[in-house]
Amino acid sequence: MKVKYTVLTLLVVLALVLSACGAQSQPAVVRIGWLSGPDSLNIGVAWLGTAYTISGLTYSTMYRFNLDGTFSFDLGTDVKRSEDGLVYTFTIREGVKFHDGQPLTAKDVAFTYNLVMAHEDFPTLHSYVDTFASVEAPDDKTVVVTLTEAIPNIESKLVYLYVFPEHIWKDHSDGEAATSFENLEMIGSGPFKMVEYKANEFIRLGTNKDYYGGAAKVDEVIFQVFQNSDVLVQALKSGQVDMVTSVPNTSVQTLKTDANIKIVAGAPFSPDLTDIIFNTTDPENCPIADGGLCTGHPALRDKQVRLAMAYATDKQKIIDVVLLGLGEPGIALIPTGLGEWFNTNIRDYEYDVDKANQILDEAGYKDADGDGVRDMPDGSQPLTFRLNWPNTQSTYPRVAELLSEMWSELGITLEMQVVESDTLTAQCCPALDFDIIIWGWIADPDPNTLLIIPTTDQIPTGYNETGFSSARYDELFVKQGVELDLDKRREMVWEMQAIVHENVPYIIPYYPFAVQAYRLDRFTGWKDSETKVALEDNSSLLNIEPIK
């Protein structure tokens, strides 16, 4: 034991001495702390947003998705759309090189798009080429994309199609070869290149000095995984990291008192929402063939009941208690972070318990047996609903408690239970074996991914979790998907939100803020006042420089 200790002590001293020596000629290294690293460096098979973050730093794409919600050219320099809206001819930058020195040409772009098209087993990436019919590269700087239908949102389809080098991926393009490729070297053409990767520990990215957009002013960016958010905050406070991509709301107050730390809060890069899901499914429309059970409480099929519950939901109180104020009240499925797609005309149901009670009285839901709980108009059963939420979110239990309090004022009781998230998926959809669920969605740059959720076609697939069905909504969804006129499309998207809001299949309590923080004494130039908060984005990492 003695020998062991002595050796250990010696090593510690040695390490301290050596690390102190090295400190003088250190290159500028930005250390970023986050809660989870990418699941794979092969973006084709990846699921996590963090994999997209890293790919965004190491690869180039046709368009770049900016923090203000707009798109701008990255590799592209010009685009021409055919009369019928089906053929896009892109011209791309010349002289772009991959990290290994090989030139990037239109052939690489076409190769990549074709690769993704051929791989239906790429879980998230494949969805971006769903309307692609063919992609060709007639010469080194021209890419021709032909679509199956005219769509208004080609930019949003291209922002995540990271251009792979054909000379590397051609050996990893067929079937299993593509899905089992780990892509550890991550050769791309973006502003940063892979230096070292330790799965679930850290990623070291070096600056690409030849980057066509101007090289970063730092030498290296390190993303380090901290599995616990309180420890992550402590790492920032003690200076072990320079920036953290997420701060728990509970730590905001204490961090504010630290003069060396700045907190940034606002809409996340991929805006998200928390939704209270009502099972409105009529047993007649039950997707039995897909495993539908449709055991929802009959009262929740009545719009008046849902409306009363909406009036009795104090969203601001939920935000203040659960998020400590770091969020904004929700309206429909489109979060404010999606910019112009968010319908600013809708006036939300104002918190009014008396009005809510009045609605229920008028609809005939009386407390027939005098037990303090309202009953169905026919007296068959009380308004006692099952309320479930997944175990993955620490905020949901508090939301549930508050809802129980608020709705008890209406004579509604809840049977609350947390459920393991995959089990809840099995219960939820398309089984529709629940009354009310608290859950959430994350948005894509284009509103389509969220708009598709309440369509009738998505009941059997399980994405339409409420079982909501409206012919007008379905019609609008199809129409806006091929409307090339931006203003007309926006009008339809706004109307769709109004339909959802009016029928109350959901109550959207809030759109939570992203909360990040950085140290003021290490680097300057963080983009902290953009529309959306993402300090780990290219926009910040290409701009920051060390404080001398």
Partner 1 sequence: MNRWHYFRNKAGWSLFTLIFVIVLNFFLFRVMPGDAARQGIRDPRLTKETIEAIRVRFGLDKPVINCIDSLNPVRFGSCSVNPLDTQFFIYVKNLLKGDLGVSFYYNRPVSDILGERLWNTILLIGAGQILAILIGVFLGVLAAWKARSAIDYTALFTGLLAWSLPAFWLGIILVFWGSNHGFPIGGKATPGISSYPFLTQIGDIARHLILPTFTYTVIFMGEYTLLMRSSLMDVLAEDYILTAKAKGLSTFQILKDHALKNGMLPMVTLIAINLGYTVGGVIQIEAVFSWPGLGGALFEAVSRRDFPILQGGFLLIAVSVIIANFIADLTYSYLDPRVQTE
Residue 449 beta carbon to partner 1: minimum distance, rounded to whole angstroms: 5
C-beta neighbour count of 171 within 10 angstroms: 10
Which DSSP string do the residues of 378-400 spell out, in sequence order?
TSSSB-EEEEEEETT-SSHHHHH
Residues 43-62, interacting with partner 1 (CB under 8 A)? 45, 47
Residue 235 beta carbon to partner 1: minimum distance, rounded to whole angstroms: 6
Q: What Rg value do the Cα atoms of the chain yield, rounded? A: 26
Of 355, 356, 352, 376, nearest to 365 by C-alpha is: 376
- Among 90-98, 186-194, 369-377, 461-469, the segment contacting partner 1 (CB under 8 A): 461-469
- Tell me which of 69, 291, 325, 329 binds partner 1, using CB under 8 A: 291
Which lies closer to partner 1 via its Cβ, residue 232 or residue 507?
232
Build a one-symbol-per-residue string for 181-200: x at contacts with partner 1 by CB under 8 A, - elsewhere.
-x-------------x-xxx
Residue 424 beta carbon to partner 1: minimum distance, rounded to whole angstroms: 9
Binding of partner 1 at residue 450 (CB under 8 A)?
yes
How distant is the alpha carbon of residue 47 from its chain centre? 11
How far apart are the C-alpha atoms of 135 and 43, rounded to whole Å?
A: 20
How far apart are the C-alpha atoms of 465 and 458, rounded to whole Å?
A: 8
Binding of partner 1 at residue 422 (CB under 8 A)?
yes
Which lies closer to partner 1 via its Cβ, residue 89 or residue 391?
391
Build a one-symbol-per-residue string for 110-149: x at contacts with partner 1 by CB under 8 A, - elsewhere.
----------xxxxx-xx--x-------------------
Binding of partner 1 at residue 246 (CB under 8 A)?
no
Whole-number Cα distances in Å, 378 to 78, 250, 282, 298: 66, 46, 18, 11
Binding of partner 1 at residue 16 (CB under 8 A)?
yes
How distant is the alpha carbon of residue 506 from its chain centre? 19
How far apart are the C-alpha atoms of 405 and 398, rounded to whole Å?
A: 11
Binding of partner 1 at residue 384 (CB under 8 A)?
no
Which lies closer to partner 1 via its Cβ, residue 237 or residue 501?
237
Which lies closer to partner 1 via its Cβ, residue 240 or residue 408?
240
Helix and strand numbers (H, E) in the chain are 17, 22
Residue 442 beta carbon to partner 1: minimum distance, rounded to whole angstroms: 8
- Tell me which of 285, 421, 456, 531 binds partner 1, using CB under 8 A: 421
540-545-548 Cα angle (round to 5):
150
Name the strand (E) or helix (H) holding 136: strand 132-139
Residues 498-527, interacting with partner 1 (CB under 8 A)? none
Which residue bears the tokens 């910019």? 339
Report the relative pairing of strands 87-92 and 523-524 from DSSP bridges.
unpaired
Q: Which two tokens stand for residue 483?
A: 């409307």
Count how many Cα atoms sit within 13 Å of the Cα of residue 127 in the half-sphere of its side chain: 10
Residues 36/245, Cβ–Cβ less than 8 Å: no
Binding of partner 1 at residue 418 (CB under 8 A)?
no
Which lies closer to partner 1 via its Cβ, residue 119 or residue 527?
119
Which lies closer to partner 1 via its Cβ, residue 227 or residue 529?
227
- Tell me which of 393, 449, 539, 543 binds partner 1, using CB under 8 A: 449
Residues 68-107, interacting with partner 1 (CB under 8 A)? none
Q: Do you know the residue count of the chain?
A: 548
- Tell me which of 111, 164, 226, 523 binds partner 1, using CB under 8 A: 226
Residues 425-444, interacting with partner 1 (CB under 8 A)? 425-427, 441-442, 444
Which lies closer to partner 1 via its Cβ, residue 176 or residue 485?
176
